[in-house]
Amino acid sequence: MRHISAAERAGTAGKTGSQFTGQVFNYLTMPATDGIVINTVTFNPGARTFWHSHTDGQILEVLAGRGLVQSEGGPVVSLGAGDTVWVPPGERHWHGAAPDSFMIHTAISLGPTQWDHEVTDSEYTSRPDDSPRSDPSLNETDER
């Protein structure tokens, strides 16, 4: 058992830069422990991650505000408080706030994260309605 006290985390919260576009505040809820890292991240309107993937996947739980998430080749999906997202291992994606709302999520990251390039404004502003859906697998629903 490992008890991580608030005092232990003191000073770990802070603004982040190289992996995010816009203003983001990151609170390291649980430092890397057995390959799991938990962050609670506040995105200002328009702020988002760079494209990236997680070796063993990631769970996002939206706590407040409204956000967006997209996997490579898929539509931009709107998120609201109470929504949960499972990002499978190795799937390239980004997540962040909506253009007109902040968003706070807890991110449970499994294994190392591979960071890629910035999400462009045109990628960020594309909407599900704009996205070609020629690949039906992108629209499949998970019945579990």
Q: Which is nearer to Mn ion, 8 or 91 (CB)?
A: 91
Q: Which is nearer to Mn ion, 33 or 115 (CB)?
A: 115
Q: Alpha helices of the chain — where are they, by DSSP H?
A: 6-9, 121-125
State the minimum distance, in angstroms, from the CB of residue 10 to Mn ion.
Answer: 25
Indicate whether 58 belongs to the interface with Mn ion (CB under 5 A): yes
Site size toward Mn ion (CB under 5 A) is: 1
Classify burial at 5, counting beta carbons within 10 Å of its beta carbon; exposed 0-12, middle 13-18, buried 19 or more: exposed
Chain residue whose CB lies nearest Mn ion: 58
Is residue 40 within 8 Å of 109, Cβ to Cβ?
Answer: no
Region for 39 from its dihedrals, namely left if φ exceeds 0, alpha if ψ lies in -120 to 50, beta otherwise:
beta
Stretch that binds Mn ion, among 2-10, 31-39, 54-62, 67-75 (CB under 5 A): 54-62
Q: Which is nearer to Mn ion, 8 or 114 (CB)?
A: 114
State the minimum distance, in angstroms, from the CB of residue 105 to Mn ion.
Answer: 10
Indicate whether 26 belongs to the interface with Mn ion (CB under 5 A): no
State the minimum distance, in angstroms, from the CB of residue 3 to Mn ion.
Answer: 27
The C-alpha atoms of residue 27 and residue 117 are separated, in whole angstroms, by 23
Q: Which of 31, 144, 142, 39 is nearest to 95 (CA)?
A: 39
Q: Which of 52, 54, 31, 26 is nearest to 41 (CA)?
A: 26
State the minimum distance, in angstroms, from the CB of residue 13 to Mn ion.
Answer: 19
Indicate whether 39 belongs to the interface with Mn ion (CB under 5 A): no
Binding site for Mn ion (CB under 5 A): 58
